Amino acid sequence: MTNVVEQEIAVSSEDTEIVISVENVSKKFCRDLKRSLMYGVQDIATEMFGGDRKSDTLRKKEFWALKDISFQLRRGEALGLVGSNGAGKSTLLRIISGLIKPDTGSVKVKGRIAPLIALGAGFNPILTGRENIYANMSILGLSTKEIEERFQDVIDFAGIADAIDAPVQTYSSGMAARLGFACAVYIEPEILLIDEVLAVGDIKFRMKCHRRLAKLREKGTAFILVSHNPPAILNVCHSAVYLSKGQLIATGDVDSVVRRYEEDLCLSGSEKSVGPMFLPEKPKNESSGIDIVSLCFKDEQENILETLISGEPAFFCVECKAYEKITKANLCVTVTALSGEHERIFYLTSGSDNEYLEVLPGKVELQMYMPYCGLNPGVYNAKIFIRSGGYSFDAVESFRFTVTANHITSQSLFYQPRKWQVKNNLT
């Protein structure tokens, strides 16, 4: 197979012109450094003597960072590249930008390309910001005259006028990142490759970045945006590509691809819930008066739900065995997210709602009705306890459950119940 990365400077008047074509691209790496160096020498020798490198097969300790990836990007389009760490996103951008070659397949690029893969990575720390602007933008294809015409715009955009004649090594990481972004966007490329760089700076600078990108797209610039933040993808991109462990999982419209990525991200692994929880009943002499024997969610027809669905109604059901009458039982529920920092999502008690529960001896079921599940897709942990006054009867420290969605909820922190209407003929 041929190993090709073609880059051409060509601009078409057609808005539908394909500016990036990725065809069956694969890239392999070796996990062992010494063996990787040995393979490199072998490959160079094989190419020198016209032999077959067998690029489509793995050798010992090698793995596919990318395998048979294909997609196209047209002029003026914005494509989101999503996937968890190690999916191959940055490797793919480096291949498209020409920094590394694929082992199999081909990449064809038409137009001036600006890779925003590591902002400020190409700056010389000893040189001043002014000197680095000229060096960086000339590498990206601008003449000295063009750089001089855009120089002040770059400084104003980066917001570092006071430090422009100081060595870059005296800059903070944020200042260097802002300068790198400004240099890249002011060369006005036909193609922008953006790898997790819209998170730099404060909110004011990020808003400035988005406005600048919108102007470039109006002029026909095409984007590939890599981000772990689904709202960033949804807000900017028309379509998306989802990679996982070097494999192409899904490609198409941005809503469906991001939804697939979210479901895999939130619901994968051993932490996924397994439905209802059943607990052994305690002997009466070991009970504190009320014992929790099962936990589950049910729909409005009393059917047990394996998972909750954002925006759909559900009952949270706590089945108990009571040995005495309790006139003011207080059901308490604390929910935390298992992703991120395990932050608390909510803490609800029937007592705080002035809904004290009367429990009679025997089997009883305490219910919390949710007209809408307000949680985003993910895996959660609930802590449940029953008390009366300052006395606690029983508690369950960990009940895991899963929330899915029938629609995109990425741009919200929770599900907001809503109705839409129009009032016409207002006077």
Model pLDDT for residues 256-285, shown as the tens digit of each residue: 888 778 777 665 554 555 578 999 888 888
Whether residue 376 sits in one domain with residue 242: no
pTM of the model: 0.66
For residue 5, name the pLDDT band (cuts at 50, 70, 90): very low
Whether residue 310 sits in one domain with residue 195: no
Whether residue 296 sits in one domain with residue 240: no
Using CA atoms, how far residue 356 sits from 287, 323, 327, 331, 366, in Å, is 21, 18, 8, 8, 11
- Domain final residue, candidates 249, 267, 285: 267
Give the integer Cα–Cα distance in Å for 66 and 87: 8
Whether residue 202 sits in one domain with residue 282: no
Predicted confidence at residue 22, as pLDDT, reads 94
More confident site: 93 or 377? 93
Whether residue 246 sits in one domain with residue 364: no
What does the pLDDT look like over 84-107, one tens digit per residue? 888 889 899 989 988 888 989 999
Predicted confidence at residue 317, as pLDDT, reads 94
- Which of 1-15, 225-239, 275-289 has the lowest average pLDDT? 1-15
| Number of structural domains found in the chain | 2
Q: Which domain holds residue 243?
A: 3-112+189-267
Mean pLDDT calculated for residue range 122-127: 84
What values do phi and psi take at 217, rounded to 5?
A: -65, -35
For residue 294, name the pLDDT band (cuts at 50, 70, 90): very high
Q: Where are the alpha helices (DSSP H) in 49-163?
A: 89-96, 129-139, 144-158
By percentage, how much of the chain surpasses pLDDT 90? 31
Whether residue 363 sits in one domain with residue 235: no
For residue 6, name the pLDDT band (cuts at 50, 70, 90): very low
Mean pLDDT calculated for residue range 295-323: 92
Whether residue 345 sits in one domain with residue 297: yes
Q: Which of 414, 231, 234, 418 is nearest to 337 (CA)?
A: 414
Q: Which of 404, 219, 261 is nearest to 252 (CA)?
A: 261
**Encoded tokens for 398:** 């960990």
